[in-house]
Amino acid sequence: MNSPTDGTYLARALQQQTISIRGARTHNLKNIDLDIPRNQLVVITGLSGSGKSSLAFDTLYAEGQRRYVESLSTYARQFLQLMDKPDVDVIEGLSPAISIEQKATSHNPRSTVGTVTEIHDYLRLLFARAGTPYCPDHDLPLQSQTVSQMVDAVLALPQDTRLMILAPVAREKKGEFLDVFAEMQAQGYVRFRVNGAIYAFDDLPTLKKTEKHDIDVVIDRVKVRADLQQRLAESFEAALRLANGRAIAVEMEESVIENDSASRSNDEGYRPKEHFFNAKFACPVCNHSISELEPRLFSFNSPVGACPSCDGLGQQDFFDPARVVAFPTLSLASGAIKGWDRRNGYYFSMLESLAKHYKFDIDKPFESLPPEVQTAILQGSGEEEIKFSYVMDSGASQGKKLTKKHPFEGILPNMARRYRETDSALVREDLARYRSTQPCQSCNGSRLRLEARHVKIGEGDQARAIFEISRVTLRESYAYFQTLTMHGAKGDIAAKVVREIGLRLKFLNDVGLNYLSLDRSAETLSGGESQRIRLASQIGSGLTGVMYVLDEPSIGLHQRDNDRLIETLKHLRDIGNSVLVVEHDEDMMRAADHIIDMGLGAGVHGGRVIAQGNFDAIQSNTQSLTGQYLAQTLKIAVPGKRTPWLPTVAPKPGDEDKFKSRNAPSPAAVRRAEREAHHRATQGALQTLRVVGASDHNLSCPSHQDGHTVDARVPTEFGCGPTALRCKKASLILNFAETRRFRMTTLGDLPRQTVARGDQLRRIFLKSGLLAVTLLPLIAHPSDIKNAPLRLRIVGGLAGANQFPRQEEPFWQKTLPALSRGQITTEIVPFDKAGIRTHEMLRLMQLGVVPFGTMLMGGILSADPELAALDLAGMNPNMAALRRSVAAFRPHLEQTMRERHGIEVLAIYAYPAQVTFCSRSFTGLADLAGRRVRISNPSQADLIRPFGAVPIQSEFSAVVSGMRSGNVDCAITGAMSGNAIGLQEVASHLHTSATTWGLSVFGANLGAWTALPPDMKSLIKTELPKLEAAIWADSERQTDEGVACNTGRGSCLTGKTGLMKEVQTNAVDESKLRISFRDSVLPAWVQRCGNTCVPVWNRLLAPVTGIRAETQATRP
C-alpha cells in the first residue's frame, strides 16, 4: 500500500476526479457510499433533517478542515481548533475546505459590512495616502505652513507667554524608544516629554514595550517677545527636521518652565494649551492644522480615529421623552410621568413649585401644556432660579416647610445623573427602561473624529469623505469608484487600491447585496446576507483548488437576484474549485452539474442517498420526493380559502424613507404578514422592519401597559442608526398582549444544550403530580434484546410530596424482582425539592427509551402545543442513541404491518411515543393532503389540518379493518392518544420479547397495564393470573358505576388511577406490609377495591415475598 508521501499516491490524488466517500455514518447517515465529482457545482437537496448538512458540513467539511489543520506545524495548531474526525470509513480526493454557513457574521456593534469585507481597510489606506485634508470651518484644502508663518503665529500670542517648542517624534506607538533617546542626546537634546510629563535624560522612566507612548523632544523653552524671531525660527526648523515636518508650541506655567519635576504629575487635571504646526497641512484662513494622515486616523476602532463622544459606535443612549412621558394624555398629578405624581411627595412638590412659577395647571393633560413649559419640565430651567417649597419628612423639623431658590435640574437630566452616579443594579435596570438610542450628535453617526471626517478624495464634484462613501448603497459606491479620476502622484498611488475596492464592491453587487451600505452594522444582517457577504469575500480572495461548502445561499434572496448568485457560484467553480451547496431552490438545481437527493424522510427516517445525477435524472426518478415535485407529479395545492386578515399594523405616512410614504397596512397575523412580505418584496425592501421592527420595539415601551395605542420610535437596529435611513415614528393601531420574535439562529453551541427543554419537563411533571416508573432494557447489542433483563428506575414522585416515600422501597426492591424471577432489577432515584429530577428524564430521552415507553395520563402532552410541535418535527435530543434504539425495533414493526396487514409505517416520532401508520406508502406530511387520518385525541386534528388531512376520531381497534376497507388512510397513535395504547396494540402482532418495550407507568394506571404487549402480560400473568382477573373485574365494575378516581391523591389497586398510587406502609417487622387507606380523602369505593384485591395479593404474593398486606379494617 502506498504511503501518503509516496509520489504515486500524490499523483493519483491529483488526478482523481471525484471525492469518494465510503461508510459515512455521521449523525443519521446510514453508512452511505458516494462519489461526488470534483471541480463542479454540486447541489445536495432533500427534506429538512434528511442528512444534507450531516453529509456536507459534518462529514466533508469537517474532514477537509481537520486534515488541513493536522498538516500544519505543532506551533500553528495550538491557535486553531481541531475538529473531531467524522464517523466515516474513508474519504479520498478531499481539498482544503471552506464553510460558508448561515449565521450572523458578528454580534460586535463595531463590526460593519465594510470591516467584515475588508473594504474599509482599503478605504483607510486610500484616504491616508491619497486624501486631501480640509478645514472643518471653511471647507478649504489645508495648505503647508512655512517657518515664518509658524513664527508669526507664536509672536501673536500675549507678551511673556511661556512656551516650549516640541518635536513630536512618536505618537501612540509601542516600544521602549531607547535608541530614540540615545540619538536625541547625541544631538544635544536632554529633555523629553513622555506621555505628558517632562523628564531630563538621566531621569527617564523605563517604558513598557507592549504599551503605547507619546514621545516629544524639548527643542527650546522661551517667553514670547518681539526680539525672538531668529531663535524661534531655528527652533521650529529643528523640530520640523526631527518630527518629519511637525512641531508643537505648548503654553506652560512658570513652575513647569523652572522645575521639571513639577510637570511630571498631571493629576490635578491641568492640561496645557498646545499649538500644532505642520509644514504640509494648514488652513490658509484660520491656520487649522492636523497631524500626519495615517490609516488609523480613519478607523473608528482606534482611539486615534474614533469619535470621542460615542467612542466609535456612532450612536448614544439617551433618556427618551417619549418613554419618560409614558401617558401624555394624563396630567402630571395623575401620572403622566411615572414616579413624579402625587404618590412621590418630594418630586411632586417640585412640580407644584414649577406650576406656580410658570403659571400652569398641574391637573391639565401634559400634552396640552405649552411647549416651553414641557421643555422646562423635561430639560430644566437652565440658569433661571425657581422658588421651591419642600415639606420635611424626618428629624426635628418634620412637617415643616423648607423654601429654597435654585435652578430646576429637569426630569431628563435628573434621570441621567442618577443613572450615571448610582451603584445599584436595580436602579440602573429601572432607569434603563426609559432610555433609547439615537445617532451621535457629534459625528452624526459617522463614528469618526472631526479631522477624519474632513479628509476627501477626488476633485471638484467628485470629492467625497470616507463616511459619505460608506453611507450610500453598494451600488452607488461601486458606480463612484468606476468614475473616480485622480491625477498626479496621488493618482498613481491610489490606482491599485481603487482597483481592489472596485472588485470587492462588484462581487457584493453580483451576489444581490447592492442595497446594503458599507456602514451597515453586521449584527443587523440576516443569515442569508451574512452568508453572501462571506461568499463575496471568498471570491475576492481568488483561491483555487478549494472545496467550498455553502448552506442555502438563496435564503432571503428575491428571485430577481437569484441568477446573479448562481453566476457567482459558477465563477468559483470555473477558477478551479469544488462547490457544494445545500439547497432547495429549483433554479440552483437546474444550474448544478450534479445533484444529490437525500431522504426519504427526516431524522431517523433519512440519511440515505435516494437519487443522484443531473437535473433530468433527478426529475425522472420516481423514488425521489424532490424529483416528483420537480416533475409536477406532486404539488402543493393552493388553499381554496384564505385566512381572513385581522386588524392591521400600519406605519404613518412618511415615517420611513424606504416606505416611500405608503400607508400600507400589514396584517396582525405575523405568520401571514411575513409570508406575504417575502413573496411580494425584493431583497432589502424592509420586510423585516415592517413586520418585526416597529411592532417589537413599540410594544416594549413603558406606555404599553394598559392596552394603549403606542406611538414611539423605531429601534436603531432597524434603520435609525448611522445608516442613510432616517426614521421617525410608527403607530400600532392594535392591542397586543405581547410580541415574540423568532429569528434564524441556532439553539445553542454548548454541548449540554439539547432540544428538550428542562423547564417544560418540570412544568409537565409538576402539573401532573404522578408517579413515574420506567423499565429500561439493558441492551448491549440489538441482537441481545430478546433475553435482556430489565432495570426498574423510579424517576418521579407523588403529588405534594418532596421526595419518594422511603417506606415503599421494600415493595419495589423485593416484589418485582421476585415476580420476574431475576429478570427485573430495581433502582430508586428520589425526588429533589423541585418535584422532579429533570436530568433523569433527559437521560431516559437520550437513551431512546421515552419515545417507546412513555405514557402520560390525562392528556398532558396533548394539551401542550410546544411538545406536540416537537413531536411532529421528529426531534430528539440525542439522535445517535435514538437511532440505535429504533434499529432494534422498527424493522420488525414495519415487516409485520406490511406483510400481515398491508399497512406502511410512515413515521416513528422521537418525543413522545407516537407512530403514524398509513395504508399506502407515504413519504412525508405533504402527502397527507386529502387523506382520511384516524386520530384518538381532538388536539391532533389541529396538527394535521394544515397539511390538508381529514381527521377522523375513532378507537384504535377499528384502524386495521378501517384501513383494509379504505375508510381510513392513516392513523396516528401513541402518547398523544387518549389511552396511549395504540403503539402497544400494534406491537401485539410482533413475535419479539417483551423487553423490546420500555414500560412507563404514570400513577401505575390501569391504562398502562392494559397497554402492555402480550408477552409482557404473559410474564406477569404466569405469577398473578387471579390478580389480573380481579383487576379487570373490579375495573369493569367501577367503570359501569361511573366512578372517577382522584388523580392527585387516590390510593387503590385498580381503577383509573391504578396500582399503588399512594401507598403508605407501616412495617411492623420485615415479614409484614400494612397498606392503609385514608377515609378523609378517598371515596367509599376504594374500600371495595381493597377488600377485593388484598386477599388475592396475600394469596399470590405472600408465598413469594414473605410480605402480607392488610386492609384498614384488619389493622390493629
Mean pLDDT for all residues in the chain? 67
Whether 480 maps to a domain, the answer reads: no
Based on the domain organization, do 266 and 340 belong to the same domain?
Answer: no
Tens digit of each residue's pLDDT (9 = 90 or more) over 557-598? 777 778 888 888 898 899 889 999 999 889 999 999 999 999
**What are phi and psi for residue 777, nearest 5 degrees?**
-70, 130
DSSP code, position 81: P
Q: What's the grid cell of residue 948? A: 390538508
Based on the domain organization, do 688 and 610 belong to the same domain?
Answer: no
Q: How many CA atoms within 13 Å lie on the side-chain side of 374?
A: 16
Domain boundary among 732, 766, 787: 732
Q: What's the grid cell of residue 434? A: 426609559
- In this prediction, residues 943-964 reach a mean pLDDT of 62
Whether 31 maps to a domain, the answer reads: yes
Please give the residue that has the higher pLDDT: either 12 or 65. 65
CATH number of the domain encompassing residue 604 = 3.40.50.300
Tens digit of each residue's pLDDT (9 = 90 or more) over 736-792? 445 555 555 555 555 555 444 444 444 444 333 322 333 332 222 333 333 334 343
Based on the domain organization, do 278 and 158 belong to the same domain?
Answer: yes
Whether 806 maps to a domain, the answer reads: yes
Give how far Cα 408 sits from Cα of 79, 378, 404, 798, Å: 58, 10, 11, 63
Whether 933 maps to a domain, the answer reads: yes
CATH number of the domain encompassing residue 185 = 3.30.190.20
DSSP code, position 715: P
Least confident of 623-637, 765-779, 960-974, 1083-1097: 765-779
Whether 638 maps to a domain, the answer reads: no
Instruction: Say whether pLDDT at 373 is over 70.
Output: yes
Instruction: Say whether pLDDT at 522 is over 80.
Output: yes
Please give the residue that has the higher pLDDT: either 865 or 683. 683
CB 858 within 8 A of CB 783: no
Please give the residue that has the higher pLDDT: either 1076 or 919. 919
Based on the domain organization, do 813 and 696 belong to the same domain?
Answer: no
Based on the domain organization, do 21 and 66 belong to the same domain?
Answer: yes
Least confident of 113-122, 385-394, 404-413: 385-394
How far the first Cα of the chain sits from its last, in Å, is 85
The confidence score (pLDDT) of residue 561 equals: 76
**What are phi and psi for residue 97, nearest 5 degrees?**
-110, 145
Based on the domain organization, do 327 and 364 belong to the same domain?
Answer: yes
Based on the domain organization, do 833 and 971 belong to the same domain?
Answer: yes
Classified as helix, coil or strand, 214 is strand
Whether 1104 maps to a domain, the answer reads: yes
Based on the domain organization, do 1017 and 1037 belong to the same domain?
Answer: no
Number of domains in the chain: 6
Based on the domain organization, do 771 and 792 belong to the same domain?
Answer: yes
**What are phi and psi for residue 951, nearest 5 degrees?**
-75, 140
- The candidate with the shortest Cα–Cα distance to 222, out of 209, 240, 236, is 236
Whether 2 maps to a domain, the answer reads: no
Percent of the chain surpassing pLDDT 90:
25
Least confident of 178-182, 393-397, 463-467, 1091-1095: 1091-1095
The residue range of the domain holding 176 is: 134-292
Instruction: Say whether pLDDT at 3 is over 50.
Output: no
Band the pLDDT of 144: cuts 50, 70, 90: confident
Band the pLDDT of 954: cuts 50, 70, 90: low
Instruction: Say whether pLDDT at 828 is over 50.
Output: no
Band the pLDDT of 217: cuts 50, 70, 90: very high
- In this prediction, residues 391-413 reach a mean pLDDT of 79
Tens digit of each residue's pLDDT (9 = 90 or more) over 1012-1049? 445 544 544 443 333 334 333 333 333 333 222 322 22
The confidence score (pLDDT) of residue 467 equals: 93
Least confident of 118-132, 160-174, 1008-1022: 1008-1022
- The candidate with the shortest Cα–Cα distance to 473, out of 108, 113, 118, 110, is 113
Tens digit of each residue's pLDDT (9 = 90 or more) over 200-212? 998 899 998 889 9
Whether 125 maps to a domain, the answer reads: no
Based on the domain organization, do 802 and 879 belong to the same domain?
Answer: yes
Tens digit of each residue's pLDDT (9 = 90 or more) over 912-936? 334 455 554 444 455 667 777 777 6
Based on the domain organization, do 675 and 771 belong to the same domain?
Answer: no
| Displacement of CA 90 from its chain's centroid (Å) | 35
Please give the residue that has the higher pLDDT: either 402 or 376. 376
Least confident of 468-477, 742-751, 857-866: 857-866
Tens digit of each residue's pLDDT (9 = 90 or more) over 442-467? 999 999 999 999 999 988 888 999 99
CA dihedral sign, ordered 137, 139, 144, 148: negative
Based on the domain organization, do 702 and 766 belong to the same domain?
Answer: no
Domain boundary among 968, 998, 1021: 1021
Residue carrying the nine cell digits 464634484: 461
- Helix/strand/coil percentages in the chain, nearest 5: 40, 20, 45
Domain boundary among 954, 988, 1021: 1021
Pure H helices in 243-291: 254-258
